Amino acid sequence: MQKNSLTGWLLASPLSLVLLVFLVAPIAMIVVVSFWGATEWSIYPAFQFDNYAFLLTSEVTYRVFVNTFKYAAITWACTLLIGFTVAYYLAFHIRSLTWQIALFLLCTIPFLTSNIIRMISWIPFLGRNGIANSTLMSMGVIDEPVEWLLFSDFSVILAFVHLYTLFMVVPIFNTMMRIDKSLIEAAADAGATGWQTLWHVVVPLTKPGIMIGTIFVVALVMGDFITVRFMSGSQSANVGRMIQNDIGLLQYPSASATAVILLITVLLLIGTMLRFVDIRKEL
């Protein structure tokens, strides 16, 4: 046992080292700097609560946080609905394993390409003279181009759903593939309709996968700044954008204070979710 523990430590040491230097130390640094002061061009060590006082008394902070939660909630609902349906189709309606793997890969490939390119690729669709507008106009649905397609909350959420639905599909599909098919048959034999089987058998058994997908999507949307900036044309804000703005103005202490509050929020959210699922067991 003693020797076992030592080998374990040796094997885990590179991992621990990386996380210590590039995760724990940076978080500690952010916490420290969040108490520092700043002039217009430099920052200086101090121990003051000014940054937090300013942040917590500013009405803007609350508005931006509410907006961030709004993005997370809507994106979560959309990705869950789409992701569940896609995973359900792959797991229960595709009958050969080869096809399941092939279609699953087809869903996964975009995840391995650049997010920024995938955002850019919405421009020809949503722009003022884009495909969506010209199609709607030629169909006679609208008379002049709709302005809110690009650079609006709509396009931000569309991009989030486009980028992150995969994070729902993968864990839900993984959990569904482990459901014993005889349970579905048993439900049908006992007289359950398709919907009843779905709601009372499949959904409860899929909960761990849904939870893991939720953790991914919520974490990614809460921490995002680039999608909001790009897809809203800098017209909407979330917490990440607020941090990025402060960084741009070299106001590192104030950026750090916002970052600390964001980190606490995200960790509380995710920590709560982790109580409902044992990630290591579900993999």
Partner 1 sequence: MEPRPRSFYALTAFFILFLVFLYGPTLTIGILSLQGPGGGLTFPMRGVSLHWFRDLFEQQAVGDIWGSFSRSLTLGLMVMVTTVVVSVMGGLAFRKRFVGATLLFYLIITSLVIPSILVSLGVGLIWSQSGLPVHWSTSGFGAQLTWTLPFGLLIMFAVFNRFDRSYEEAARDLGASPWQVIRHVVLPIIAPSLIGVALFGFTLSYDEFARTLLTSGSYNTLPLEIFGMTTNVTTPVLFALGTLTTVFSLIIILVFLLVVWLLNRRRARQGSNAGQGMV
Among 78, 91, 243, 257, binds partner 1 (CB under 8 A): 243
Cα separation of 173 and 6, whole Å? 37
> Taking CB under 8 A as the rule, which mask of x and - marks residues 182-211 in contact with partner 1?
------------x-----------------
Closest CB to partner 1 among 205 and 274?
274
Sole residue written with tokens 């709004």 = 70
Hey, is 277 helix, strand or coil? Answer: coil
CB of 3 to partner 1, least distance (A): 10
Decide if residue 21 touches partner 1 (CB under 8 A).
yes
Q: Does 117 bind partner 1 (CB under 8 A)?
A: yes
Binding range to partner 1, per CB under 8 A, among 55-63, 138-146, 179-187, 255-263: 255-263
Q: Give the CA distances from residue 34 to residues 28, 206, 254, 255, in Å, rounded to whole numbers and listed in that order.
A: 10, 41, 6, 7
Q: Choose the stretch contacting partner 1; rule: CB under 8 A; options: 9-17, 54-62, 141-149, 201-209.
A: 9-17
Residue 88: CA count within 13 A, CB half-sphere: 19
73/102 with CB nearer partner 1:
102
Length of the chain, in residues: 283
By the 8 A CB rule, do 174 and 277 touch? no
Candidate list 100, 127, 177, 192; residue touching partner 1; CB under 8 A:
127
Residues in contact with partner 1, counted by CB under 8 A, come to a total of 85
To partner 1, the closest distance from the beta carbon of 138 in angstroms equals: 12
Nearer to partner 1, 204 or 280 (CB): 280
Nearer to partner 1, 113 or 182 (CB): 113
60 binds partner 1 (CB under 8 A): no
* Cα 20 to Cα 23, 27, 30, 79, 263, distances in angstroms: 6, 10, 14, 33, 17
- Burial of residue 131, with CB atoms counted within 10 A of its CB: 0-12 exposed, 13-18 middle, 19 or more buried: exposed
Q: Say whether residue 29 binds partner 1 (CB under 8 A).
A: yes
Is residue 30 within 8 A of residue 256, CB to CB? The reply is yes
Query: What would the two tokens of residue 130 be?
Result: 């884009």
For the CB of residue 53, give the shortest distance to partner 1 in the complex, in Å: 21
Distance of closest approach, residue 166 Cβ to partner 1, in angstroms: 8
